[in-house]
């Protein structure tokens, strides 16, 4: 009787009658279904996260900074990116290409003070704790050197005499706009 009841229980569970191989197959199918669902939800979550939080660093766009001719050698421009990041764009040499400029974060990685370019010393200087960086943003003095902290660098390009910097964007609308901007640079960018 006990054996009969056990068999009925398995059948009413939606599976095969008693037997080792059908049960193994049922377990395999359940595991496969579970794995498939987990993979599906994982992929969905990853895509949703990337889409909704694209301002976290994955979405970038080219932003107009200045006309090339308007920035003299050694001069710097304070620039605020759409996501609020503060940059300092500096002309390092004569010429009409992006290589003549640098675009670095102007926020000291030590404790967040503002750095500025000192053309006479050819360095970025942080007055809070006498931190200093070379023109590439590498630390040369003070706490940033001890901690090996750099100034984040941003890509630059020049088109038709206009200087652009590539920075992170903030909103979903900005992210979509950035793709348009990236596909057809040279138009009104702001
Ligand atoms: S905050 Fe710049 S060196 Fe300390």
**Helix/strand/coil (H, E, C) string of 5-47?**
HHHHHHHHCCCCCCCHHHHHHHHHHHHHHHHHHHHHHHHHHHH
Q: Quick check: is 188 in a domain?
A: no
Is 45 in the same domain as 70? no
Sheet holding 162-168, edge to edge: 60-67, 162-168, 156-159
123 lines ligand 1 (CB under 6 A): no
Q: Quick check: is 47 in a domain?
A: yes
Is 75 in the same domain as 39? no
Residues spanned by the domain of 167:
58-183
Q: Quick check: is 71 in a domain?
A: yes
What CATH code is carried by the domain that includes residue 170? 2.102.10.10
156 lines ligand 1 (CB under 6 A): no
Contact 162, 170 (CB under 8 A): no
Region of 142 please: left (phi>0), alpha (psi -120 to 50) or beta.
left
89 lines ligand 1 (CB under 6 A): no
Per-residue confidence (pLDDT) for residue 85, from 0 to 100: 93
Share of the chain above pLDDT 70, in %: 59
Judged against a pLDDT cut of 50, whether residue 184 lies above it is answered with no
User: 170 falls in which pLDDT band (50, 70, 90)?
Assistant: confident
Distance 109 CA to ligand 1 centre (A): 7
Distance 120 CA to ligand 1 centre (A): 20
Q: Domain end: 52, 67, 94, which one?
A: 52
Domain count, the chain: 2
Is 68 in the same domain as 20? no
110 lines ligand 1 (CB under 6 A): yes
pLDDT digits (tens, 9 = 90+) for 126-154: 999 999 999 999 999 999 999 999 999 99
Distance 134 CA to ligand 1 centre (A): 15
Distance 3 CA to ligand 1 centre (A): 78
Question: Partners of 63 in the beta sheet?
Answer: 165
Neighbours of 7 (CB within 10 A): 13
Is 103 in the same domain as 173? yes
Q: CB within 8 A of 134, min separation 6: which ones?
A: 122, 123, 124, 140
Q: Domain end: 11, 36, 52, which one?
A: 52
Q: CB within 8 A of 163, min separation 6: which ones?
A: 64, 65, 66, 67, 68, 71, 89, 98, 101, 156, 157
Is 48 in the same domain as 62? no
Distance 154 CA to ligand 1 centre (A): 20
Q: Domain end: 10, 37, 52, which one?
A: 52
Q: Closest Cα partner for 140 from 156, 124, 155, 118?
A: 124
Question: Which of 86, 114, 144, when mutated, tests ligand 1's pocket best, judged by the most ligand atoms within 8 Å of its CB?
Answer: 144
Please tell me whether the overall predicted TM-score, pTM, comes out greater than 0.75 for this model.
Answer: no
Cα–Cα dist 73/102, whole Å: 12
User: 30 falls in which pLDDT band (50, 70, 90)?
Assistant: low
In terms of pLDDT, which residue wins out, 7 or 166?
Answer: 166
Contact 170, 84 (CB under 8 A): yes
Per-residue confidence (pLDDT) for residue 183, from 0 to 100: 33
Question: Partners of 159 in the beta sheet?
Answer: 162
175 lines ligand 1 (CB under 6 A): no
Judged against a pLDDT cut of 50, whether residue 171 lies above it is answered with no
Q: CB within 8 A of 11, min separation 6: which ones?
A: 17
């Amino acid at each position: 009787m006990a054996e009969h009841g056990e068999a009925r229980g398995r059948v009413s569970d939606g599976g095969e009658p008693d037997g080792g191989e059908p049960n193994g197959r049922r377990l395999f199918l359940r595991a496969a279904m579970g794995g498939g669902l987990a993979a599906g939800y994982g992929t969905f979550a990853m895509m949703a996260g990337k889409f909704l939080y694209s301002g976290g660093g994955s979405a970038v766009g080219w932003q107009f900074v200045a006309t090339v001719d308007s920035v003299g050698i050694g001069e710097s421009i304070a620039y605020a990116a759409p996501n609020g990041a503060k940059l300092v764009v500096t002309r390092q040499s004569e010429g009409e290409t992006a290589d003549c400029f640098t675009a670095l974060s102007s926020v000291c990685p030590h404790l967040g003070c503002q750095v500025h370019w000192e053309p006479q010393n050819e360095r970025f200087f942080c007055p809070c704790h006498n931190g200093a960086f070379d023109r590439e943003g590498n630390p040369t003095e003070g706490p940033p050197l001890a901690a090996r902290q750099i100034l984040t660098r941003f890509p630059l390009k020049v088109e038709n005499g206009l200087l652009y910097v590539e920075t992170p964007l903030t909103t979903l609308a900005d992210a979509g706009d950035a793709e348009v901007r990236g596909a057809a640079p040279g138009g009104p960018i702001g």
